[in-house]
A and B are shown apart, each in its own frame.
Chain A
Amino acid sequence: MAAEGEKRGAMEAEGAVEKGGDVAATSEKGEAASAKGKGVVEAKEVAGGKMVILRSSQPEKKRYEVPEAAARLSMLIGEMLDGDCANDDGIVIPVTARTLDTVVEYCSKHFEATKSNSDPFVAAATKSDPNPSAEASVGGGVNTAASENLEDWDRKLVDRLSMDDLYDVIHAANFLDIKGLLDVVYQRVADMIKGKTPEEIRATFNIANDFTLEEEAELCQQCAWIFDAE
């Protein structure tokens, strides 16, 4: 855990380094908030964006410093920043440090990706897509190597989570309202169900079969149409 903490420390430092340049289009709100001069969180101007302090709540109050635009990928944090809800000590998120590690990694990576994506054509094409994802693109041809690499990165981030970690991230992403991260974790859950028989699915997720034999037979009869393969 300590070694992990050190590794995360290095990651924090990476996240804190601003590459400069324009703040991504998605952080319009961030720009507005900066313009209003809200100094409720530590307003360290780092080459184009304020930094925001986040803290985990258990077991230890680990401190994360992230660019405001990255933090605003969470709708909840965005609302808290707008609504003056944070104190100087940063925003306390009721999740473990281990979970917040993953969340912060996701937000930082996606913030960096939108900043460094200098291709205005991709950015324009994927704007206002309610469900953006590589799979969702029905031959639209608007995805590039860059956005596919981000997809791969997302998948790897989530694939290495244990089942317990996965559930924790689901809860955190829901609570923080980070749509992109939710899509990725949900896709992992769906991938773990895909192609499996009910028995295999139960084994994967430790689901107890609490049907009586009569219920099961009745269900089978009602649902014959799924298995109907004449």
Chain B
Amino acid sequence: MPPLIYGFMAFQFAISQCCRLCEHHLFDEISLRTDSMAEAPADGLVVSKNVASAACRINALPSHVLSRAISFLDARQLVQTCLLSRRWRHLWRSVPRINASRHEFDGMADSEEERNVLFKKFTNAFLVLRNPVALDEFRLFYFMPDHEESEDPDADSDDANLWIHHALRSNARSVKVKIWDDRLHLDPAVFASKCFLTSLQLSCVMLFDGFFRNLQTGCTALERLLLNDCAIDDVEISSQTLKVFTVDDYSNFTFGEQPSISIPSLSYLAFSASGRIPSLKNMGSLVTASVSVSSGGTQVDDICQFLRSLSGVTNLDFDYAGMLKMEKSLQWCPKFNNLTALTLGEWCLAEDYYALKVFLRNCPNLVKLTLKLKQCNYTSETIIAGLNEGSFACQHIEMLEIVYSKGDPKVLEKLLVEGGITLG
């Protein structure tokens, strides 16, 4: 049976199982209320004496305002508001945000698996019972058991895939998924149908072949894609709409093939995934790039092509942890005519500041230079002294900033340089 249909049947089953009188603090809470009750008028309306005298301004808020205020609550706490008063009875159903958090069940049951069962039951019922109002945002914090101990890791991910699919069908503009312990097996089919998604954040998720293709055909309004700690099987990354794309250093491409990124609309790229340096195409709109490259499997040609693709950016943060020797005769660094802010790591100071000098020679319009250093061996004086070996002028530089990354990142020195740095 296809997972989606099975899932909906499970919803109905869950509801029928849950309809029974509860014996928990709700009843205790009722007895509390009757104790403080001052009157019990004939029509059965009960009013607590001390409460009636003070104004209830929260109830006086318009429904759409109150709905938005309580949309910041996690799902279980949100549903509990139905008990507050008549005004609140059905408010939770029309709240335009869903924060489904497994953390709300952390204090219950005896094992993670049991807690997951409770959370799944609750979330299924929640999604079915709420009104089908358009969603601003769907957030999921969810626990995935260790794949190696599980019988069927794909099946473990069924519920989450269903919920995300439901969110997209509810016109969610933003989806944020954060998983812990092991990675969620995200079903690429979830994104294949047309949806209104503009922002997608995935943390600790496995992305299978076809994910980016489906994203492109289905999520035709997608502008933001943030990947954190993701395992990526799909190496063809292309989009016509993305403006912000980030892949962090906990993510990796599972196959050894070179990933290819082609996004003509891209304005901001942050890429530090381990593995082979990607091939960038159609980066004409790119303004800011923050990239970290290790040399695992990377050829020198790859780096040349990579930097060439970035040559139109205005702001560049380039960290290179590789071992490749840049041949001094090779033109590995293109001209960065638009570059006004450059950030480089300690690697650029090796071999007598070789790479730093090459960059400075190729950035005629540089205004701000930032160096991220691990050790405190360098000060602005030593760096400028070191740069004096060459003979070139960075006439527009206004600021040299040194950031030490040991412990707390601190900006230790910000040097405002009048009239640029003229060296040699």
Q: Does B244 reach chain A (CB closer than 8 Å)?
A: yes
- Measured between beta carbons, the chain B residues less than 8 angstroms from A186 are 68-69, 71-72
Q: Does B228 reach chain A (CB closer than 8 Å)?
A: yes
Contact B85–A124 (Cβ < 8 Å): no
Contact A124–B268 (Cβ < 8 Å): yes
Contact stretch, chosen from B149-157, B171-179, B186-194, B232-240: B171-179
Contact B72–A187 (Cβ < 8 Å): yes
Q: Does A6 reach chain B (CB closer than 8 Å)?
A: no
Contact B118–A210 (Cβ < 8 Å): no
- Measured between beta carbons, the chain A residues less than 8 angstroms from B80 are 198, 226
Contact A208–B44 (Cβ < 8 Å): no
Query: For B85, B108, B118, B178, which residue has the most chain A Cβ atoms within 10 angstroms?
Result: B85
Contact stretch, chosen from A8-16, A48-56, A128-136: A128-136
Contact A189–B69 (Cβ < 8 Å): yes
Q: Does A201 reach chain B (CB closer than 8 Å)?
A: yes
Contact A121–B290 (Cβ < 8 Å): yes
Kindly provide the distance from the CB of B39 to the nearest chain A CB, expressed in whole angstroms. Answer: 12
Contact A199–B82 (Cβ < 8 Å): no
Contact B85–A206 (Cβ < 8 Å): no
- Measured between beta carbons, the chain B residues less than 8 angstroms from A59 are none
Contact B86–A211 (Cβ < 8 Å): yes
- Chain B, Cβ-Cβ closest to A229: B108
Contact B70–A139 (Cβ < 8 Å): no
Q: Does A207 reach chain B (CB closer than 8 Å)?
A: yes
Contact A228–B52 (Cβ < 8 Å): no
- Measured between beta carbons, the chain A residues less than 8 angstroms from B26 are 220, 227
Q: Does B388 reach chain A (CB closer than 8 Å)?
A: no
Contact A213–B46 (Cβ < 8 Å): yes
Contact stretch, chosen from A37-45, A89-97, A163-171: A163-171
Contact B315–A139 (Cβ < 8 Å): no
Contact A170–B65 (Cβ < 8 Å): yes
- Measured between beta carbons, the chain B residues less than 8 angstroms from A206 are 51, 54-58
Determine the distance from Cα of A195 to Cα of B52 in the docked complex, in whole angstroms.
24
Contact B18–A224 (Cβ < 8 Å): yes
Q: Does A197 reach chain B (CB closer than 8 Å)?
A: yes
Contact A127–B244 (Cβ < 8 Å): yes
Q: Scan B192-209; emit 1 where CB is below 8 A from any A CB, else 0.
A: 000000110111000000
Determine the distance from Cα of A118 to Cα of B370 in the docked complex, in whole angstroms.
12
- Known interface pairs A190-B72, A207-B85. Does A125 touch B246 (Cβ–Cβ under 8 Å)? yes
- Measured between beta carbons, the chain B residues less than 8 angstroms from A211 are 46, 85-86
Kindly provide the distance from the CB of A160 to the nearest chain B CB, expressed in whole angstroms. Answer: 18
Contact A208–B121 (Cβ < 8 Å): no
Q: Scan B283-307; emit 1 where CB is below 8 A from any A CB, else 0.
A: 0000110100000000000000000
Contact A193–B77 (Cβ < 8 Å): yes
Number of interface residues of A (CB under 8 A): 62
Determine the distance from Cα of A201 to Cα of B226 in the docked complex, in whole angstroms.
36
- Chain B, Cβ-Cβ closest to A120: B315
- Measured between beta carbons, the chain A residues less than 8 angstroms from B27 are 220
Contact B46–A212 (Cβ < 8 Å): yes
Determine the distance from Cα of A130 to Cα of B226 in the docked complex, in whole angstroms.
13
Q: Does B147 reach chain A (CB closer than 8 Å)?
A: no
- Measured between beta carbons, the chain B residues less than 8 angstroms from A199 are 29, 32-33
- Measured between beta carbons, the chain A residues less than 8 angstroms from B47 are 208-210
- Measured between beta carbons, the chain B residues less than 8 angstroms from A205 are 56-59
Contact B199–A128 (Cβ < 8 Å): yes
Q: Does A174 reach chain B (CB closer than 8 Å)?
A: yes
Query: For B25, B45, B83, B125, which residue has the most chain A Cβ atoms within 10 angstroms?
Result: B83
Kindly provide the distance from the CB of A11 to the nearest chain B CB, expressed in whole angstroms. Answer: 27
Q: Does A149 reach chain B (CB closer than 8 Å)?
A: no
Contact A190–B69 (Cβ < 8 Å): yes
Q: Does B374 reach chain A (CB closer than 8 Å)?
A: no
- Known interface pairs A129-B224, A202-B84. Does A225 touch B18 (Cβ–Cβ under 8 Å)? yes
Kindly provide the distance from the CB of B107 to the nearest chain A CB, expressed in whole angstroms. Answer: 9
Determine the distance from Cα of A183 to Cα of B79 in the docked complex, in whole angstroms.
20
Q: Does A182 reach chain B (CB closer than 8 Å)?
A: yes
Task: Identify which of residues 9-64 in chain B touch chain A, using a CB-to-CB cut-off of 8 Å.
Answer: 14-15, 18-22, 24-27, 29-30, 32-33, 44-48, 51-52, 54-59, 61
Kindly provide the distance from the CB of A182 to the nearest chain B CB, expressed in whole angstroms. Answer: 7
- Known interface pairs A138-B178, A194-B77, A206-B51. Does A128 touch B224 (Cβ–Cβ under 8 Å)? yes
Contact B315–A209 (Cβ < 8 Å): no
Contact A124–B287 (Cβ < 8 Å): yes
The listed residue (A128, A139, A194) touching B178 by CB distance below 8 A is: A139
Task: Identify which of residues 242-290 in chain B touch chain A, using a CB-to-CB cut-off of 8 Å.
Answer: 243-244, 246, 248, 267-268, 270, 287-288, 290
- Measured between beta carbons, the chain B residues less than 8 angstroms from A174 are 65
Determine the distance from Cα of A202 to Cα of B58 in the docked complex, in whole angstroms.
10
- Measured between beta carbons, the chain A residues less than 8 angstroms from B74 are 194
Kindly provide the distance from the CB of B268 to the nearest chain A CB, expressed in whole angstroms. Answer: 4
- Measured between beta carbons, the chain B residues less than 8 angstroms from A167 are 57-58, 61
Closest 8 CB pairs of A and B: A190-B72, A225-B18, A212-B44, A124-B288, A124-B268, A139-B228, A224-B22, A206-B54
User: What are some 27 contacts across the A-B interface (CB < 8 A)?
Assistant: A120-B315, A120-B341, A121-B290, A121-B317, A129-B224, A130-B198, A138-B177, A138-B178, A138-B226, A140-B228, A164-B57, A167-B61, A182-B68, A190-B73, A202-B51, A205-B56, A207-B88, A208-B52, A209-B46, A209-B85, A219-B83, A220-B21, A220-B22, A220-B27, A225-B19, A227-B25, A228-B22
Binding site for B on A (CB under 8 A): 118, 120-121, 124-125, 127-131, 136-142, 145, 163-164, 167, 170, 174, 182, 185-187, 189-190, 193-195, 197-199, 201-203, 205-216, 219-230
Known A131-B137, A186-B71, A220-B83; 20 more pairs at CB < 8 Å = A120-B315, A120-B341, A121-B288, A124-B288, A138-B139, A139-B228, A139-B248, A140-B246, A174-B65, A186-B68, A189-B72, A190-B69, A193-B81, A198-B83, A199-B32, A209-B85, A211-B46, A220-B26, A227-B24, A228-B22
